[in-house]
Amino acid sequence: MSVAFLWAFTLSCEKYTNRSNNKMSSSNQKSQLHALGFLILAMLSVQSSASLAKILFQDFPVLTVSAMRLCLGAIILAFIFRIWRINFSQVRWKAILAYGFALAGMNALFYLSIERLPIGIAVAFEFIGPLSVALYHARQKYDFVWVSFAIIGLILLFPFNQAHSLDWIGVLFAVSAGACWALYIIAGQKPSGISGNHTVCLGMSVGACILLPITLFSGSIGQVIELPYLFYFIGLAILASALPFSLEMLALRNLTPLSFGTLMSLEPAVAALSGFIFLGEYLLWNQWLALATIITASVGCTITTQKARQEREKAAS
């Protein structure tokens, strides 16, 4: 990674942090609670869909499932957000392409990881990406406290007494997906020249174009469009792409990068519960303790961020 890229990365993050803080000081408590609700719903939707995707792996190649997830998700969003109304002359394609590439990499690599690992463990490794974003933007002492809680929770989530049975290729896929997740957060914060909804739509279309050739060459396209598989893929697209990515873009409007990154620590907890409920993936006692620790970090981050916002509003008035 070049020095120039690192410098541009730092500037983009700092600029977005300043914009977010200004928005937070002028927004009311209701908008922040809505953002939190959007983020929780997004996590529930994604992790429930991961169980459905893992079931589809029994009949289709992993990358085919990932490609159909993005392709159908992009089509659904195109109609919901009326993509034909976009003023394409205003689109900043560099930002859109970066967002789309990050989205494609995150989806494909995550699905490759859960083929080899339990969902909760895969998400725990993947979470290294957004956690790194949270650490990068940490500024106050309480920020480091809650991020530390999240780290402890991730450590507890790791099945140490099962380490010999872990598929390390799956771990590599999960960590790589986490890197794409971090890039997705950063890319989603860059101005694209269009609305957040249209950014998601175009970005997902770019991601679908990257992965769709894999489906075409796999020879499984005929089976994909057969019933009831087509209905399964449409449901997967709604739960895993169209709904959560739209909700996350809405959440990013009213949450700082630190709040977003730390609140996403709920993701491994939700994933572990989803795997347990839908797939019977057993949780160890330390993993249940991890859930409580991670939720504590998320709640703590929410409370301290809200108090800091109120103090800034009092100081400004």
Give the model's pLDDT for residue 11.
32
What are the residues whose beta carbons fall under 8 Å from the beta carbon of 101, sequence distance 6 or more? Answer: 183, 206, 207, 210
The mean-pLDDT minimum among 126-135, 205-214, 298-307 falls in: 298-307
Residues 75-110 have pLDDT tens digits of 888 888 787 777 777 777 888 888 889 989 999 999
**What is the spatial distance between Cα 75 and Cα 79, in angstroms, rounded to a whole number?**
7
**What is the spatial distance between Cα 317 and Cα 315, in angstroms, rounded to a whole number?**
6
Confidence of residue 112 (pLDDT cuts 50, 70, 90): very high
**What is the spatial distance between Cα 179 and Cα 233, in angstroms, rounded to a whole number?**
26
* Structure tokens, 124: 């725990």
What are the residues whose beta carbons fall under 8 Å from the beta carbon of 168, sequence distance 6 or more? Answer: none
**What is the spatial distance between Cα 224 and Cα 219, in angstroms, rounded to a whole number?**
10
pTM summary value: 0.74
As a residue count, the chain comes to 317
- Taking the domains of the chain in order of start, what are their residue ranges? 32-316
In the chain, count H helices and then E strands. Answer: 15, 0
Contact 117, 170 (CB under 8 A): yes
Confidence of residue 14 (pLDDT cuts 50, 70, 90): very low
Q: Is 87 left (phi over 0), alpha (psi -120 to 50) or beta?
A: beta
Average pLDDT over every residue of 284-309: 74
